[in-house]
A and B are shown apart, each in its own frame.
Chain A
């Protein structure tokens, strides 16, 4: 499973019941969360002759939340933000995630084409590069 799928599963397990999409969201439903992987800082490697087994990998996601009203959008973002900000070590889909930290607090991104508010933020996550970690 990829980074976005892992975050999606974590949010679902944490109690987010609205639709969660990866990459982009369709027109409906109005209320949804979108998880998009963006550029992280890469891996912290140790001496090794094996590819893709770094003990630490620094990745980043953008989280966008949309809803019919600003209040609903803010509530949904608060729920998702609370789950990810300071997320302690856990295993998600066989991969060890060490930590997650918000790059910034959520910010209003504007309205989409259907005049629905969108709030966004970014998270740094540290995980093992391999699913064997």
Chain B
């Protein structure tokens, strides 16, 4: 029987430029979801005995749920400030790098790092109710290919 993976310590990092993703927001993150899908085209022709599909352009998106923050003094990143920077970056044609690993440890074959240049097409400025934990849900869209790296970092 294979071992289960309990997700407790994933790495989610992003940058405010395309060169690096050094802002580790893991300790604000409660959930992260990253998916990729491609346009699918029907290229079935006369004589085909089954439908034939071809894959077209791809698209990837990242969704993350974070505890909202307005400070770095508690040991985490200022999420409100970062999101505002990413908003301005995206609005002026820029991209930013996002990295993720299953475990916040070095890259390896058992802990691959996925990365991708992204843009932010929408943001949550404020969404909360009295007594609730104030959250900030991030949503990023692909602006480049998804890269998987297993070499040690």
Q: Would you call B11 and A46 a contact (CB within 8 A)? A: no
Identify 17 residue pairs between A and B in the complex whose beta-carbon atoms are under 8 Å apart, listed by A's number: A44-B67, A44-B133, A46-B27, A47-B9, A47-B12, A47-B27, A47-B29, A47-B30, A47-B104, A48-B8, A48-B9, A48-B26, A49-B9, A55-B27, A55-B74, A56-B67, A99-B131
Interface size class of A (residues with CB under 8 A): 10 to 19
Q: How far is the CA of A88 from the CA of B28 in the complex (A)?
A: 22
**Binary interface encoding of chain A residues 28-55 relative to chain B, with 1 for a CB under 8 A from any of its CBs, else 0:** 0000000000000000111111000001
Does B10 count as interface, using CB distance less than 8 angstroms?
A: yes
From 56 to 104 in chain B, residues with beta carbon under 8 angstroms from any chain A beta carbon are 66-67, 74, 103-104
Minimum CB distance partner of A124 in chain B? B131
Which one of B26, B103, B131 lies within 8 Å of A46 (CB-CB)? B26
Which chain B residues have a beta carbon within 8 Å of chain A's beta carbons? 8-12, 26-30, 66-67, 74, 103-104, 131, 133
Residue-wise interface mask of A (56-73) relative to B, using a CB-CB cutoff of 8 A (1 in contact, 0 not): 100000000000000000
Judge if A133 is at the interface, Cβ distance under 8 Å: yes
When A56-B133, A99-B131, A101-B131 are in contact, do A46 and B30 touch as well, CB less than 8 Å?
yes
Distance of A45 Cα from B11 Cα, bound (Å):
14
- A48–B29 Cα gap in the complex (Å)? 9
* Neighbour of A49 across the interface among B104, B131, B133, CB < 8 A: B104
A45 and B131 contacting across the interface, CB-CB below 8 Å: no
Asked if A133 contacts B29 (CB within 8 A), the reply is no
When C-beta atoms are compared, the residue in chain B nearest to A133 turns out to be: B74
A56 to B66, CA, bound (A): 13
A45 to B8, CA, bound (A): 8
Residue of B nearest to A53 (CB): B27
**Pair A45/B104 contact, Cβ less than 8 Å:** no
Which chain B positions have C-beta within 8 A of A46?
Answer: 26-30, 66-67
Q: 5 tightest CB-CB pairs across the interface, nearest first?
A: A47-B26, A49-B9, A47-B10, A47-B29, A46-B27
A132 nearest in chain B by CB position: B75
B26, A45: Cβ atoms under 8 Å?
Answer: no
Q: CA separation between A101 and B132, bound complex, in Å?
A: 11
Docked pose: A21 CA to B74 CA in angstroms: 33
